[in-house]
Amino acid sequence: VTLAYWALIERRLRGDEGSVPNALANIVLARAGSDNYPQNAALWFLPCLFVTEMLFLGIFTFVKSKRAIRYDWAVAATLATVSFLSIIAMHSFDLPIDRLRLPWALDILPFSMLFYCIGYLLSRFLMPCMRKSKPKASLHAVYAAIGMAGLGLLRVFDELTGLSVNLNDASTSNPFWMLCAALLGFISSLMLCVAIDCRLLQFLGRASLTIMCVHEPVKRVLIFVMAKILGMNTDALRANLVYAMLVTVVTVAICVAVHLIMGRFAPVLIGSSRHNLASQGKARA
C-alpha cells in the first residue's frame, strides 16, 4: 500500500529519485537499508524481526528436543554470546559492505539476535520477580527518579564515548559500548514504565508495531501540508519543537485509528483474530 502511494503520488510531488523497480523487488528480497525502502524506511524491521524469531524458535525447539542443554536460559545465553562475537567480527572487518545487503535483513541478524536473547533472559529472570512484588505507590517516585537518572547517564555516556549505532545499516562504532548503552537504556525505560503504569501507554505499546509501520508516510504528508499552510521550509518545521510535537501527536492519533480499524476489519494484520478479540471483550465484561 505504501509503495503504491509513494510511486504514484508522493514520488511525483517531492521529485524523489528512488527506484520504483528496486523498491518493488525489495518486497520479496526484503533487504535492509533506507535506499531499499524509499516508500517506508521503517519496514526493514518486519523481516528482520520475523527471521530472528523464527531462527530463535527453531534452534530453541531443536536443542530442547535433543536435550543437548538442560536449562532454557543456557540456549539464549549461548545464542547471545555467538551473536556478540559475530558483531565484533563484523566490526573488525568493517562489514557489511553497503553495496551488498543480504536478503531478509540477514546481515542484521547478529544484532537482532543479541538483543532478542537478552530480552528473553531478562524476561525469564527479572519479570517474574517484578510481578510477584508490585511496587507500592510511594515507590513510584523512586522508580521514576532511577529511570530519569539512567537516561541522563545514558546521554552523558553517549557524549563521552561518541557512540553511534545504526541497526538498519548493521553498524556500530563500538560493540562493547553499544551493549552497555542498550542495557542502561532498557533498565531506565523499564523503571519509568513501572513508575508510570499508565493504561494509555500500555495501549500505545500494544499498538506500537502498527504505529511503526504506518507513521513514516503519514508523518511526511503532515509535515508537507503544515509547511505549505505555515509558509515554512520543512527543515525549519522539523526543528521547531512545538510544531514537531504537534506533528507527532497527530501522526500517532492517525496510526492508532488505523490500528483500531485493522483490529475491527482485518485483525490478522495486527497479529490478532476475531476469536481473540471476542474473548478479550468477554474478559473485560
> pLDDT digit string (tens) for 168-187?
888 899 999 999 999 999 88
Residue 228 has pLDDT above 70, yes or no: yes
Please give the Cα distance from 100 to 266 (Å, whole number).
36
Q: Strand, coil or helix: what is 198?
A: coil
Going by pLDDT thresholds of 50, 70 and 90, the confidence category of residue 68 is: low
Torsion 235-237-241-243 (CA) sign? negative
- Contact status, residue 90 vs residue 96, Cβ threshold 8 Å: yes
For the chain, give every domain's residue range: 12-133, 136-197, 198-277
> pLDDT digit string (tens) for 190-220?
888 888 878 888 899 889 999 999 999 999 8
For residue 99, give the C-alpha cell.
553495496
pLDDT in the model for residue 156:
95
Please give the Cα distance from 28 to 42 (Å, whole number).
16
For residue 186, give the C-alpha cell.
532498557
Output 15 or 261, whichever has higher pLDDT: 261
Residue 100 has pLDDT above 60, yes or no: yes
Output 187 or 96, whichever has higher pLDDT: 187
pLDDT in the model for residue 142:
86
% of the chain residues with pLDDT over 90? 43
pLDDT in the model for residue 160:
94
CB-based contacts of 185-188 (< 8 A; 24+ apart in sequence): 185/150, 185/151, 185/154, 186/118, 186/122, 187/150, 188/146, 188/147, 188/148, 188/149, 188/150, 188/151, 188/153, 188/154
Please give the Cα distance from 37 to 2 (Å, whole number).
10
pLDDT averaged over the chain?
86
Residue 38 has pLDDT above 60, yes or no: yes
For residue 271, give the C-alpha cell.
497479529
Please give the Cα distance from 143 to 145 (Å, whole number).
5
% of the chain residues with pLDDT over 70? 89
Please give the Cα distance from 92 to 138 (Å, whole number).
48
Please give the Cα distance from 91 to 166 (Å, whole number).
12
Going by pLDDT thresholds of 50, 70 and 90, the confidence category of residue 96 is: low
pLDDT in the model for residue 143:
85
> pLDDT digit string (tens) for 239-285?
899 999 999 999 999 999 999 999 988 888 887 765 555 555 555 54
Integer angstrom CA distances of residue 228 from 7, 19, 130: 22, 26, 49
pTM of the model: 0.81
pLDDT in the model for residue 90:
86
- Alpha helices per DSSP H over the chain: 2-5, 11-14, 20-29, 45-66, 72-92, 109-132, 140-161, 175-196, 199-206, 208-230, 234-239, 241-265, 274-284
Going by pLDDT thresholds of 50, 70 and 90, the confidence category of residue 2 is: confident
pLDDT in the model for residue 139:
78
